[in-house]
Amino acid sequence: MKVLVVGKGGREHAFVWKLAQSNKITKLYAAPGNPGMAQHAECVNIEDSDLEGLADFAKKENIDITIIGPEAPLDAGIVDLFESRGLTVFGPTQKAAQIEADKDYALELMHKYNVPTAPYETYTDATVAKNQLKEWQHPLYLKVSGLAAGKGAIHCETLEDSYKTVDEVLVDHKFGSSGDKLVAMGFLDGEEASIFGFTDGKDIVCIVPAQDHKTIDEGDVGLNTGGMGAYAPAPIITPELFEDIVERVMKRTVDALAKEGRPYKGILYGGIIVTKDGPQVIEFNCRMGDPETQAVLSLMKTDLMDVITAVCNGTVADLDIELDTRAATTVVMASGGYPVAHETGFPISGIEAAEALGEVTVFHAGTNVKDGQLVTDGGRVLAINAVGDDIRASIDKAYEAVAKISFKDHYYRRDIGHRVLARLEE
């Protein structure tokens, strides 16, 4: 099979790395790819925003399956375009991708079909929002309804925080058209976990739960990022809780989208808060998370190509995904200043030494090659993933690997996995 992976970040590197292990693939492409992906695939200089260019390439090269990594091209309708040209593509249609791309729609759907989540209200006018938010109990979440690269959810402790966010989103248009609608969502108190399911629109198979670390600073404080680290499995999700989430959240949502005339094929990501009242959905994503993907795929024994083919062929009900019983931890190394202003172009060293430790894979998220030297080229630069016999071993190995890698002004959280370690000490 000839396979094309669309995207250039750490998530897509993880897909390419895993797919490169399949004996069913004869040629693997990445568009536009990155230096890490170039170790396993031929990188093609087509941006993930160039939908027509990607479709033209897939047609010309007789690509058997194209896999869409990021959310933006899904929201832009890349799956619809490919299908209109008779091309097989892995990912949800534009209408189905609104489960992530329109938070207002997602919450309306959840409430309509009794998927457990928080109360919500949507605003388009700043004055109306401020008047009504006076009646809301704080803390709460304010979220831009559209895509915001993981930075559009704002935790508001006080009414003053909410007013400030309303002004930023609805008055100053900090998030552009993504913030045309501002969603207020009741605070969900509990621990978060990420659930990933492969679905063909009828059936869904969910894999090992993970836990992301969204904020920039240790102790889960500071600005939201795209994710500073993750580990899997997440023991907060017990087997009984996992079964409950699969039935009442994941399957119910797939069924709901089908009933709404938006059959969902691809990966459905449920962001879950485990509250005292049970699991509640804080968000859905129309693709896998980053950096959870790196940890989760490193624990998948089944050929990823078999899973993707089952989704595309509508045979997910026949899938039996085998998972490693060990644990994986991913630590993100970021540019100093991220998630706001940061410099790039700094040389990177130590990756080979880190991977020489064994069971360590360094995934590229924001890198480039300049004059033959690997350099930083983004906010989140590398995601260092380690597999160990248990969660503590995987955390220790991940940080041992991180210590061998260096670039100017690098930053990483030193407490990835702190919740699970605290639980082990109880």
| Residue 53: C-alpha distances to residues 44, 85, 296, 316, 396 (Å) | 11, 13, 31, 30, 43
What pLDDT is recorded for position 426? Answer: 73
Termini Cα distance of the chain: 49
The pTM of the whole model exceeds 0.85 = yes
The first and second tokens of residue 375, run together, are: 């350099």
> How far is residue 199's CA from residue 54's CA, in Å, rounded to a whole number?
24
> How far is residue 246's CA from residue 146's CA, in Å, rounded to a whole number?
26
Residue ranges and CATH numbers for the domains of the chain are 2-94 (3.40.50.20), 119-186 (3.30.1490.20), 191-318 (3.30.470.20), 327-424 (3.90.600.10)
Question: Facing residues of 375 across strands?
Answer: 347, 368
DSSP at 93 = -
Contact 315, 200 (CB under 8 A): yes
* Sheet architecture: strand order including 65-68: 42-43, 27-32, 2-7, 65-68, 89-90
Question: Facing residues of 367 across strands?
Answer: 376
Contact 419, 214 (CB under 8 A): no
What size, in residues, is the chain? Answer: 426
Contact 256, 113 (CB under 8 A): yes
Contact 72, 49 (CB under 8 A): yes
> How far is residue 117's CA from residue 104's CA, in Å, rounded to a whole number?
13
What pLDDT is recorded for position 418? Answer: 95
pLDDT tens digits for the chain (426 residues)? Answer: 999 999 999 999 999 999 999 999 999 999 999 999 999 999 999 999 999 999 999 999 999 999 999 999 999 999 999 999 999 999 999 999 999 999 999 999 999 999 999 999 999 999 999 999 999 999 999 999 999 877 788 899 999 999 999 999 999 999 999 999 999 999 999 999 999 999 999 999 999 999 999 999 999 999 889 899 999 999 999 999 999 999 999 999 999 999 999 999 999 999 999 999 999 999 999 999 999 999 999 999 999 999 999 999 999 999 999 999 999 999 999 999 999 999 999 999 999 999 999 999 999 999 999 999 999 999 999 999 999 999 999 999 999 999 999 999 999 999 999 999 998 887
| Residue 423: C-alpha distances to residues 219, 278, 280, 396, 420 (Å) | 15, 19, 21, 16, 5
What pLDDT is recorded for position 151? Answer: 77
| Residue 242: C-alpha distances to residues 199, 248, 278, 301 (Å) | 17, 10, 11, 20
Q: Which residue has the tokens 């078999």?
A: 306
> How far is residue 211's CA from residue 282's CA, in Å, rounded to a whole number?
14
What pLDDT is recorded for position 177? Answer: 93
Contact 129, 120 (CB under 8 A): no
Please, which residues have CB within 8 angstroms of residue 10's CB and are 6 or more apart in sequence? 290, 291, 293, 294, 332, 363, 364, 365, 380, 382, 383
Rg, the chain, Cα only: 21
Please, which residues have CB within 8 angstroms of residue 50's CB and are 6 or more apart in sequence? none
